[in-house]
Structure 1
Amino acid sequence: MRPLSERQSLRHDLRNDVTFLTHTPALPEPATLADEELTRVNAWLSDGGVNDLTGLSQAQINTAYLLDSLSGSAVDPVESYTFGISKIEMTSPTQLNVTVSLTVDSVAKAGAVNGRIQLQGKVALGDGWTPLGSAITPSFAEFTNGSATYTFDIPAGGYAFFQPLIVP
């Protein structure tokens, strides 16, 4: 197997807009992979029996890893995806039920991704996004028919806008 030589971020800033409608976001420019993330990608490739990465960029490999996109023993490059909040319900001032939707190459995601869902929030529309440290799934996200619902604890502070990220 060819070693992963380029290092790029797995933290895909997969977002939805403030109206909470799903859309296809642009990925951020890649950055350096942390050693732990690189180890996870290499283990995923090894476990999948992948021995040829010819013609794939590091960004394609990272996206395929994050969305768990293998076809047999080959990395299945992701051409397109949509990810965002499809339903949100505030159950208390400090708790949200959030349903997220994910399609990969126009197919509803079934199964786990190699990342957790973390919410970012902001108080006013013009504010910058703040990662909400307590609003993260405890394990990798699992999708059924392109949908996953989780309960998140939201810190005090009047957060009114939310967007999800898939983080390694």
Structure 2
Amino acid sequence: MAKVEGRNGMKQIIQALYIRPFSKKEMVYSIIGLLLVFICAGLVFSVSLLLNKFFGIKPLTTTPWFMEMQPFQGYERLLLLIWLPMFFFNIIGEEILWRRYIQSRLQGKYSWLLCSFLWLLFHIPFGIDLMIMLIPVIIIIPYIFNKTKNTLVGIFIHGFFNGPIFVLVALGFIK
């Protein structure tokens, strides 16, 4: 799309995608944003467990039925090498789509909230439980992008939130 919009050469394309090295301020936003995402997601999950314990409400299921998997065993762990490029393109592709091509075109002081809502709707196929678990990331990344206008911030937070969790599930450390 950047090329279609008249950008020629990799440098112009990268600039058009709002990808640039972190400034000190953006690094602080990224680290604080990532910590907030983990803390808030942990709170959401904890509340779910408490509601289950005290009121019998079904706890949130963190994996949609179509993505359920057994932990990798033996040589299956080598599948993580195949997963790396897919993960790379999924996270970068999603962030470029949502930050650069959708959020950056929305107008208004609180347009990041509209982007958050649209991004939440995008996750409907993953089910309501996962949508609830994603609320922190769905709100925090668009807010921080709104402050920094750097797609790399979203890639950083999204990648360091999703990546370790997937690896821990794939290796059987969490379910």
Question: TM over 0.5: same fold?
Answer: no
**Which protein is richer in strand relative to its size?**
1
Query: TM-score if structure 1 supplies the norm length?
Result: 0.27
Higher helix share: 2
Question: Which TM-score applies when normalising by structure 2?
Answer: 0.26
Which is higher, the Rg of structure 1 or of structure 2? 2
Task: With a CA cutoff of 8 Å and minimum separation of 6, indicate the structure with the bigger relative contact order.
Answer: 2
